[in-house]
Amino acid sequence: MHHHEGSTGERRFTLPAIGGNPSSTRQGTSPGSFALRWQSGGSRSFSSPDTPGMPQPSEKTAWNFLPPDWTKVPGSEGTKWLAPKGFVPVTQLEYARLGEITPQMRRVAEREPHLTPEMVRDEVAAGRMVIPANKIHLGYRLDAMCIGRASRTKVNANMGASPIASSSQEEVEKLRWAERWGADTVMDLSTGGDLDATREAILRDATVPIGTVPIYSMIIGRKIEELDAQTVLDALAHQARQGVDYFTIHAGVLREHLPFVKRRLIGIVSRGGSILAKWMLVHQRQNLMYELWDEICELMRRYDVTFSIGDGLRPGGLGDATDEAQLRELATLGELTERAWRHGVQVMVEGPGHVPFDQIEYNMKLERRLCHGAPFYVLGPLVTDVFPGYDHITSCIGATAAAYHGASMLCYVTPKEHLGLPKKEDVKQGCIAYKIAAHAADVALGIPGARDRDDELTKARAALNWEKHFELSFDPDLARAYHDEDLDVDTDFCAMCGHDWCSVRISKEIAEFASGKAEAYAWDRPKVTAELSPEQREVLEKRGVLAPEEIHRLASKTKQQMNARAGVKAACHSDYVDADKAKHLQEGREA
């Protein structure tokens, strides 16, 4: 930020002339958005300005990778592509290429009002957006959504029974829980229990797209080295028929990449990647997923299963980030993207992992180049390795940067990452951390309307309207419980600063002074808020181990002390009560 001092001493600030106002009412300031202006239909839709030295976007899109039998027809409204005679479109990508708008594209635009169905179609046709919607799953309860940088940042929650813990019923409950806390897609990564029944149960229940890593089911009851082409194709066909919306397939880990893994601190941390690496070493052959790629594409096309091309060589620690193994694999992922597009299959690409903060932009922009803008779906990334138990936080910092610099979907990390199978509460914590990351990026990128709810909450906060404040919160129960644990009454201040120190209340007074109507607000002498009562201190000590209900119960002691009855506003609100009463209230607490 530059500023000049004028002769009168006043300062003028010049802000960069880019960015848009993400508030749809155009209220408030816009300098928060230093992102580029939205380039609808371009490779830089909602994008951060490139730090010097960053890879430029690819000049190609999915339009450059049509099936070889399609023909170009020049027309007055630009070039059109003609499919061969008798061609029946199946995938969203194929419909988009033919210029058709599907009900799913319409639904996506309805869910994201800054997009029109035509924009959705054009982004899908360019390969920059996917609508993961298996034909079978659409017959159940799936509500179509999209993933792509022209749309809001999406969040994926992983779940799945491991051989040690969990059952299908528990997994369905976790699915509902993840949906409730805002997961946009869910991956069933079960490696134990009845895999087939769990997957089926999740698919029938889910309103969000479901992804899987099919190799997990392929090696159940069999040694890794026994994996063969028929097993792979059968398992994929089975899961496609069940209705899975996207498959993670680690076809990019090649034999020639493996020598680079030796230099790493932690080797291969992707389960699929490590299994396939072992298979290659045992058989002295190329990755069979890579060799079967065209057959896999054809099989997935039939049900419109979307690819989430796996990054089997993602770094598992900061020291391994952006290394030769990872980048070579990324180049292969670009090649696989092109081949899948030729088959009419929708593609997203998976990314790291553990990446120091300063390397995140490079990683995002390299993918944009090598994979021609195919949506990037990243896991975190964690920006430090020394906080096990808090990796929802270490990674949501990286995830915010990743989304700002180009990732379209963020795979959550829970506090249990690296340590154990996430339970319900961990799923919630992971979802919330990632909703924060996704939303923060959307605001920063200037997605129209992204900031509206923030502005509404700010207004409620300024008005000391607690009810509205809670209502607009992402987790109203928690916000209410935290408020009420110290002061379970509707006052024009809260327990954080107390009556006399409440800047928001004082600001309201200032506004009222300015309007010339509030002389009664003048104090004789400054007051200090009462000390905490023993009960309140007890509540604070227990904070963090108490459930919201328990906090409510303990907090009701405060309520009695404040002479307030349940559900009734305490008589201290400055909207209709003068300052003397507020002072009495406080003196009452001191007594």
Per CB under 6 A, which of residues 96..115 are in contact with ligand SF4?
A: none
- As measured in angstroms, the least distance from the Cβ of 27 to ligand SF4 is 21
- Tell the smallest beta-carbon distance from residue 572 to ligand SF4 (Å): 13
Nearer to ligand SF4, 504 or 562 (CB): 504
Nearer to ligand SF4, 107 or 589 (CB): 589
The first and second tokens of residue 25, run together, are 């009412």
Confirm or reject binding of residue 493 to ligand SF4 (CB under 6 A).
yes
CA distances from 66 to 61, 83, 93, 236, 484 (A): 10, 10, 10, 24, 60
In whole angstroms, how close is the CB of 505 to ligand SF4 at the nearest point? 6
Number of residues that bind ligand SF4 (CB under 6 A): 8
Pairing of strands 129-130, 147-148: antiparallel
Q: By the 8 A CB rule, do 413 and 380 touch?
A: yes
For residue 293, the minimal CB distance to ligand SF4 (Å) is 57
Nearer to ligand SF4, 227 or 502 (CB): 502
Rounded to a whole number of angstroms, the distance between the first and last alpha carbons of the chain is 51
Among the candidate windows 170-178, 494-502, 537-545, 550-558, which touches ligand SF4 by CB under 6 A?
494-502
- What is d(CA 200, CA 544) in angstroms, rounded to the nearest whole number? 37
Per CB under 6 A, the list member of 224, 421, 478, 497 interacting with ligand SF4 is 497
Residue 502, interface with ligand SF4 (CB under 6 A)? yes
Which residues, including other chains, have CB under 8 Å from residue 300's CB and lie 6 or more apart? 236, 240, 247, 306, 307, 345
Nearer to ligand SF4, 179 or 490 (CB): 490
Residue 169 or 503: the one with the smaller Cβ distance to ligand SF4 is 503
Beta carbons within 10 angstroms of residue 170's beta carbon: 16
The DSSP element (H or E) to which 323 belongs, if any, is none
- DSSP state letters, 213-237: -THHHHTTTS-GGG--HHHHHHHHH
When asked if residue 504 is in the footprint of ligand SF4 (CB under 6 A), the reply is: yes
Closest distance to ligand SF4 from the beta carbon of 570 (Å): 15
Token pair listed for 45: 């839709």
By the rule CB under 6 A, 570 interacts with ligand SF4 = no
Q: By CB under 6 A, which span of 54-62, 308-316, 334-342, 498-506 interacts with ligand SF4? A: 498-506
Smallest distance, Å, CB 435 to ligand SF4?
23
What residues have CB less than 8 Å from 266, skipping those under 6 apart? Answer: 316, 317, 320
Q: Residue 372 or 483: which CB sits closer to ligand SF4?
A: 483
Which residues, 6 or more positions from 150, have their beta carbon under 8 angstroms from its beta carbon? 40, 45, 46, 115, 119, 123, 128, 129
Determine the interface stretch with ligand SF4 among 95-103, 445-453, 502-510, 556-564 (rule: CB under 6 A).
502-510
Beta bridge partner(s), residue 308 = 248, 348
Does residue 489 contact residue 562 with C-beta atoms inside 8 Å? yes
Closest to ligand SF4 by CB, 347 or 464: 464
Segment near ligand SF4 (CB under 6 A), from 99-107, 183-191, 303-311, 500-508? 500-508
User: Nearest distance from residue 493's CB to ligand SF4, in Å?
Assistant: 4
- Given 505, 508, 559, 589, the residue binding ligand SF4 (CB under 6 A): 505
Among 162, 503, 560, 563, binds ligand SF4 (CB under 6 A): 503
Instruction: Confirm if 270 and 211 have CB atoms less than 8 A apart.
Output: no
C-alpha to C-alpha distance for 183 and 109, rounded to whole angstroms: 19
Q: Taking the complex as a whole, how short is the minimal distance between the CB of residue 440 and ligand SF4, in angstroms?
A: 21
Per CB under 6 A, 494 contacts ligand SF4: yes
Give me 79's structure tokens. Answer: 């070039």
Q: Is 169 one of the binding residues for ligand SF4 (CB under 6 A)? A: no
Cα→Cα distances 321→147, 246, 260, 267, 382, Å: 25, 26, 12, 11, 11
Q: Can residue 470 be called a binding residue for ligand SF4 (CB under 6 A)? A: no
**Which residue from 15, 220, 496, 520 is in contact with ligand SF4, where contact means CB under 6 A?**
496
Which of these, 33, 62, 61, lies nearest to 48 by C-alpha position? 33
Residues that bind ligand SF4 in the complex, under the rule CB under 6 A: 493-494, 496-497, 502-505
